[in-house]
């Protein structure tokens, strides 16, 4: 065993639409450490091993930011003898709030961060941690010897290819926040154009808005799509239902402008669903297979979909894509790499 670990994260909830996957991360960390303490902004339902203790900051019951901050400080101080390493998932704010004590008490700190945004808070967190773990260059855009590019963590035992009905319909799916940066309106327009060209098609849009601005955008795209019965807004759903919905589809559409490697695309590949993406973070991975769309206009998306429909190598293609996820982005191999980083050793770069 590798000592005792503190994990600080946004949510521990198997039913969470965006963060339900993280319960599995904690379970795998628990196999590596004698004892794991978890502090989460919010806590819902979960099942974890006996050597894991989970504590909530209270967001799920409406606790204010000040109350959550005070509770966070009391936890990291009160539980200090229960951990010797700290793993912060995604939020630089956790590092900024706790690093003063962790460094003073000799704890080694690692931050997991996967996003194209570079903020002043992220730069400050980088200065305070011992290491940053990320997926690739695009997902952490500050050069530093502290950065370890380890690939993504896709649970390839959970995301496995499913049986699909042989329906004469091209089943398209999109999974993301409903936000302008995700360009949902272009996906809808491409599906409509394909339908009007005579291709039987359906489109499922999974996800929801998180802010008032995103809610206004969602209302707009829903209004546009309301005249097309083959377009369905499913909303935010639990992690396992996302898997089932995506796994029953033929094509995963991703036209995000965030520039970071969206794990939903990789999950689709693990499920045997063919992705099409305009996201530059996926260019190196998808372009050799003809699945990167450099022209993100509606016409460009339609042309890419038509080229995909004309292909006869789907079986080989989906097998190759899944093999890549298993070898390069497998959660079962990612967690030991993070443990290596937390131990102060150099992990394999990508």
Give the residue-averaged pLDDT of 77-87: 97
Cα 183 to its chain centre, rounded Å, is 18
pLDDT at 347: 57
What value does the mean pLDDT take over residues 187-199? 95
Query: What's the CA gap between 321 and 108, in Å, rounded?
Result: 36
Structure tokens at 330: 């497998």
Asked whether residue 68 carries a pLDDT value surpassing 80, the answer given is yes
Residue 345 reports pLDDT greater than 80: no
More confident residue, 346 or 198: 198
- Structure confidence at residue 222 (pLDDT): 95
Task: For residue range 208-236, list pLDDT tens digits in order.
Answer: 998 999 999 999 999 999 999 999 999 99
Q: Which of 99, 110, 143 is nearest to 341 (CA)?
A: 110
Which pairing describes strands 4-12 and 85-89: parallel, antiparallel, or unpaired?
parallel
pLDDT at 346: 64
**Mean pLDDT (the chain, rounded):** 93
Is the pLDDT score of 164 beyond 80? no
d(C-alpha 67, C-alpha 292), whole Å = 46
Please say if the pLDDT value at position 132 is more than 90. Answer: yes
Which two three-digit tokens encode residue 115?
């996003």
Taking the whole predicted model, whether its pTM rises above 0.75 is answered as yes
Strand order in the sheet with 170-175: 231-235, 201-206, 170-175, 251-254, 274-277
* Structure confidence at residue 240 as a pLDDT band (50, 70, 90): confident
- Percent of the chain topping pLDDT 70: 98
For 246, counting Cβ atoms within 10 Å of its Cβ (0-12 exposed, 13-18 middle, 19+ buried), the class is: buried
pLDDT at 348: 52
259: pLDDT strictly greater than 90: no
Counting DSSP H helices and E strands in the chain, the numbers are: 12, 12
- Listing DSSP states for 245-280 in one string gives HHHT-SEEEE---S-S--HHHHHHHHTTPEEEE--G
Dist CA 172 CA 191 (whole Å): 8
pLDDT tens, position by position, 300-338: 999 999 999 999 999 999 999 999 999 999 999 999 999
Q: Which domains does the chain have, with CATH numbers?
A: 4-153+330-342 (3.40.50.2000), 170-327 (3.40.50.2000)
> How far apart, in Å, are the Cα atoms of 331 and each of 35, 131, 162, 241, 258?
20, 19, 20, 20, 23
pLDDT of amino acid 350 = 46
């Amino acid at each position: 065993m590798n000592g005792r670990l503190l994990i600080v994260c946004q949510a521990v909830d198997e039913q969470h639409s965006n963060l339900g996957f993280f319960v599995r991360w904690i379970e795998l960390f628990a196999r590596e450490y004698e004892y794991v303490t978890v502090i989460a902004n919010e806590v819902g339902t979960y099942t974890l091993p006996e050597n894991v203790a989970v504590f909530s900051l209270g967001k799920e019951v409406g606790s204010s930011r000040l109350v959550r901050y005070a509770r966070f400080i009391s936890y990291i101080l009160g539980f200090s003898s229960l951990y010797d390493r700290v793993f912060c998932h995604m939020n630089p704010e956790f590092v900024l709030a706790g690093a003063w004590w962790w460094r003073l008490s000799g704890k080694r700190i690692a931050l997991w961060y996967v996003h194209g945004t570079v903020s002043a808070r992220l730069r400050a967190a980088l200065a305070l941690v011992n290491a940053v773990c990320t997926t690739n260059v695009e997902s952490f855009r500050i050069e530093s010897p502290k950065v370890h590019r380890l690939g993504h963590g896709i649970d390839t035992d959970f995301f496995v290819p499913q049986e699909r009905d042989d329906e004469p319909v091209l089943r398209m799916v999109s999974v993301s926040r409903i936000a302008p940066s995700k360009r949902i309106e272009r996906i809808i327009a491409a599906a409509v154009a394909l339908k009007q060209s005579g291709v039987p098609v359906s489109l499922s849009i999974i996800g929801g808005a998180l802010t008032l601005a995103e809610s206004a955008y969602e209302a707009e795209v829903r209004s546009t799509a309301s005249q097309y019965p083959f377009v369905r807004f499913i909303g935010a759903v639990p992690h396992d239902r996302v898997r089932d919905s995506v796994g029953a589809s033929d094509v995963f559409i991703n036209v995000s402008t965030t520039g970071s490697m969206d794990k939903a695309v990789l999950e689709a590949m693990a499920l045997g669903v063919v992705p099409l993406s305009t996201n530059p973070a996926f260019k190196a991975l998808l372009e050799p297979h003809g699945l990167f769309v450099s022209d993100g206009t509606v016409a460009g998306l339609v042309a890419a979909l038509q080229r995909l429909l004309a292909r006869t190598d789907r079986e080989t293609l989906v097998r190759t894509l899944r093999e890549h996820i298993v070898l390069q982005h497998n959660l079962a191999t990612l967690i030991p790499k993070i443990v290596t980083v937390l131990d102060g050793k150099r992990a394999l770069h990508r």
